[in-house]
Structure 1
Amino acid sequence: MSRLRGACVAACLLLAGCVTVPNGKGVAIGELSTAAEGAAIAAQQAREQRLQALPTLAFSGRVALSNGRNGGSGRIEWQQSGDRYAVTLSAPVSRQSWRLTGDAASARIEGIEGGPRSDSDVVRLLREATGLDIPVGALAAWAGGARADAAAFGPARMEFTADGQLARIEQDGWTVDYLGWREARPGDGGPPLQLPDRINAARGEARVRLAIDAWSWAPEAP
């Protein structure tokens, strides 16, 4: 894993060039008019309901991770089906990769120095294996522009732009900024769905930056 981190530094700088800092912090719900607040909340709830109804949610793109001292970046493939997830992170320069699989009760990481490791706590597993703080349990929801499960991660505070677009989610100590959106068609018979394509998440020194190239809804081949 140490080799993976080192090989990713250059790629991290490239990714930093394509993920920009937002110009503003958005408009908090309490600062919107009553009508605008209602419309923003309704649109957010509709997005979350549609995402929850999808049997599989997957994305691919680029990710940069850091903890204030160490970091790395590369390609990311993420598939979420209910509580089950499969995440692959690869560093093109070193041609190394690791794969994380699990659910709400257990997690396993492969491809790291010293062989595969497992733990019931995925955040602890990743911290011990990579030295990085990655909010796996909530990240799939945040990546889709939705709040994570309040029972597991606590209540969320949202901020919106003046036109009602989601700009920020604060939850479980993390601040998630939405820097770009794209139109997608999940194939569920509904209208086009706006999904994020640029996301910055931070808690303390921990940073996760996503540049999402594509969304999909087809389950991974066995």
Structure 2
Amino acid sequence: MVALLLAACVPQTVRSPLPSLSPQEVAVAQTRQTTHEAAVRAAPSWSLQGRVAVSNGRNGGSGRIDWRQDADRYEVALSAPITRQSWRLSGDRVAAQLEGLEGGTRSGADPQQLLREATGWEIPVAALSSWVRGARADEAVFGPATLAFGTDLRLARIEQGGWTIDYAAWQPTSEAAALPLRLNAQRGEAKVRLVVDGWNGVETP
């Protein structure tokens, strides 16, 4: 159903090699990252609008995305303008529901499992709420994270929970709370690519 909703191919992700940084540069980058994570977590209510592409190794597609987060409460809407179809995932830490699929609304405790069982897509919704803002997900839940930085000393990659998240572009500012504009997340054949057209609710210092 979602394959028909999205109805488009997902280009292959090409990873750029990461630079070799000096210990001093790594120390500066880690300090900036700590400041960045503190800034975004101080704003638990936010939203983004953009475009998303997903693939499970056999098929893939893309559409518009509207993500609204209010602390633990989230609402993620995906739509395909050409087919005029859409679905909506909403929930919190204890429950989730998926609307817009044939057969009616489906509910479950784990949004990632709910999406996988209902659509075949592997999308780590709970962790993505942190990753999309350039921050590590809760390590007590998703395990330890490994960070890598680019020549500009901004976050270039997170490896966590079996996923690799590559950051291709950031807002054009030097402020600590600048947010990602393009990222690619991958675990095995599962891929999620996000292009953000607009952010709301996270202000630069």
SS of the aligned residue for 1:193 comes to coil
When normalised by structure 2's length, the TM-score is 0.91
Residue from 32, 35, 42 that aligns with 1:46: 35
Q: CA deviation at 1:8?
A: 2.4
Match for residue 53 of structure 2? 64
Question: Residue deviations 1:52-77, cap 9 Å, x none?
Answer: 00031211100001111132210000
- Partner of residue 177, structure 2: 193
Q: Match of 1:208, SS?
A: strand
Q: What's the counterpart of residue 4 of structure 2? A: 6
TM-score (norm 1): 0.85
Residue 138 of structure 1 contacts residue 153 of structure 1 at CA under 8 Å; is this kept in 2?
A: yes
Residue 211 in 1 paired to residue 204 in 2?
no
User: Shift of residue 5 of structure 1?
Assistant: 1.5
Runs of 5+ consecutive residues of structure 1 not aligned to the other structure: 185-190
Aligned to 2:186: 202
1:179 aligns with: 168
Q: For residue 81 of structure 1, report the CA deviation from its aligned partner.
A: 1.8
Counterpart residue identity of residue 213, structure 1: D
5 Å-filtered alignment, 1:94-113, equals 94-113=83-102
The Cα shift of 1:192 comes to 6.5
Equivalences for 1:5-24 in 2 at 5 Å?
5-10=3-8, 12=9, 16=11, 21-24=14-17
Runs of 4+ in 1 over 4 A off after TM superposition: none
Sort the Cα spacing of 1:183 and 1:84 in 2 relative to 1 into closer, same or farther, 3 A: farther
C-alpha distance 7-109 of structure 1, shift in aligned 2 (>3 A): closer
1:194 to partner: Cα distance: 1.8
Partner amino acid, structure 2, of 1:196: P
Q: What's the offset of the Cα at 1:123?
A: 1.2
Aligned equivalents of 1:81, 1:49: Cα separation in 2: 17
What is the CA–CA distance in structure 2 between the aligned matches of 1:155 and 1:20, rounded to whole Å? 24
Which runs of 5 or more residues in structure 2 are unaligned?
Answer: none
- Aligned position for 1:187: none
CA shift for structure 1 position 39 = 0.7
**Count of aligned residue pairs for this structure pair:** 202
Structure 2 residue aligned with 1:93 = 82
Secondary structure of the equivalent of 2:178? strand
Q: Deviations over 1:136-174 (max 9, x none)?
A: 010011111110010110000011112312110000000
**CA RMSD, aligned part only?**
2.0
Q: 2:111 aligns with which of 94, 114, 122?
A: 122
- CA distance in 2: counterparts of 1:163 and 1:6, whole angstroms: 40
Equivalents in 1 of 2:201, 2:160: separation in Å?
Answer: 26
Q: Which has the higher helix share?
A: 1
Change (3 A) 1:145 1:64: same
| Identical counterparts, % of pairs | 52
| Cα distance between partner residues in 2 of 1:183 and 1:162 | 15
Query: Which one of 124, 144, 161 corresponds to residue 135 of structure 1?
Result: 124
Task: Report the alpha carbon displacement of residue 7 of structure 1 after superposing the two structures with TM.
Answer: 4.7
**In the alignment, residue 195 of structure 2 is paired with which amino acid?**
A
Kindly provide the amino acid, as one letter, of the partner of residue 216 in structure 1. N
Give the Å deviation of 1:42.
0.7
CA contact (8 A) 1:21 1:179 kept: no
| Mapped contact 2:170–2:181 kept (Cα < 8 A) | yes
